[in-house]
Amino acid sequence: MLKVTNLNVSIAAVHILRDVSLELTPGSMTGLIGRNGAGKTTLMKTIMGILKPGAGALSFDGKDLRSVETHERARLGIGYMPEERRLIPDLTVEENILVPAWACHTADARERLEKVYGWIPELRDMGYRKGLQLSGGQQKLAALGRALMCGTRLLLLDEPFEGVAPVLAQRLAQVIGALKREGMTVVVTESDLQHSERVVDRIVQIDRGAVVAS
């Protein structure tokens, strides 16, 4: 489904990703594990088109992504949950979740929203609350719901468990596990295997910008 080949990415003239190759099969759950600064976020941003590779290839369903803009990648069904939750504080949770529907031209945003509420019923209950009124863990749930608006096929979840209380982390793992049963392809990053181990079926380890084990 997603194929990354010998990807090289530099940020501010510093070479960050080195010959990263990765293949995701449909319905797979991959844990991208690496310590701080290993390049996990850089890889996700490059898959999303926020960062441009200096060299290497990137394709989705055989389609070359290199000339495809970020919003067009969202339209292909790729959802992204950034490391920083970036909820819009003055918008309600429901409005925050609906924001990407405009970008990815969801045919029936309301129907998709109902699906998201079906997977994460907590979001319906907190839907009217403002983004700034949520705890860190609740914001992670909302950010996951938002990623699911466009993420109908591939979900990129950057550190979903980071800084989340144990009960909510368990709940997040449960939701992510349920998405696998829906046939969704998911990549989860974490610095270690603490929470992702119970949801992933494959681990890719990254260190200093290179894949060191798979």
Cβ nearer to ligand ATP, comparing 2 with 97: 2
By CB under 6 A, tell whether 13 contacts ligand ATP: no
Stretch that binds Mg ion, among 36-44, 49-57, 74-82, 109-117 (CB under 5 A): 36-44
Least Cβ distance, residue 135 to ligand ATP (angstroms)? 21
Rounded Cα distance between 169 and 184, Å, is 20
Please tell me whether residue 181 adopts helix, strand or coil conformation.
Answer: helix
Cβ nearer to Mg ion, comparing 40 with 146: 40
Cβ nearer to ligand ATP, comparing 36 with 67: 36
Rounded Cα distance between 94 and 97, Å, is 5
Q: Which two tokens stand for residue 27?
A: 């319905």
Rounded Cα distance between 6 and 19, Å, is 4
By CB under 5 A, tell whether 41 contacts Mg ion: yes
- Do the Cβ atoms of 66 and 35 come closer than 8 Å? no
End-to-end CA distance of the chain: 17
- Binding-residue pattern over the window 24 to 63 for ligand ATP, x denoting contact by CB under 6 A: ----------x-xxxxxxx---------------------
Around 211, how many Cα atoms within 13 Å sit in the side-chain half-sphere?
A: 17
- Binding-residue pattern over the window 180 to 209 for ligand ATP, x denoting contact by CB under 6 A: -----------x------------------
- Do the Cβ atoms of 131 and 93 come closer than 8 Å? yes
Q: Which two tokens stand for residue 71?
A: 């919003």
Within 100-159, the residues that bind ligand ATP by CB under 6 A are none
By CB under 6 A, tell whether 83 contacts ligand ATP: yes
By CB under 6 A, tell whether 8 contacts ligand ATP: no
Work out the number of other CB atoms within 10 angstroms of the CB of residue 52: 10
**Could you tell which of ligand ATP, Mg ion, none binds residue 42, using a CB distance below 5 to 8 A set by kind?**
ligand ATP
- Binding-residue pattern over the window 67 to 106 for Mg ion, x denoting contact by CB under 5 A: ----------------x-----------------------
Q: Which residues contact 12 (CB under 8 A, 6 or more apart)?
A: none
Rounded Cα distance between 63 and 68, Å, is 9
Name the site residues for Mg ion (rule: CB under 5 A): 40-41, 83
Name the site residues for ligand ATP (rule: CB under 6 A): 11-12, 14, 16, 34, 36-42, 83, 191
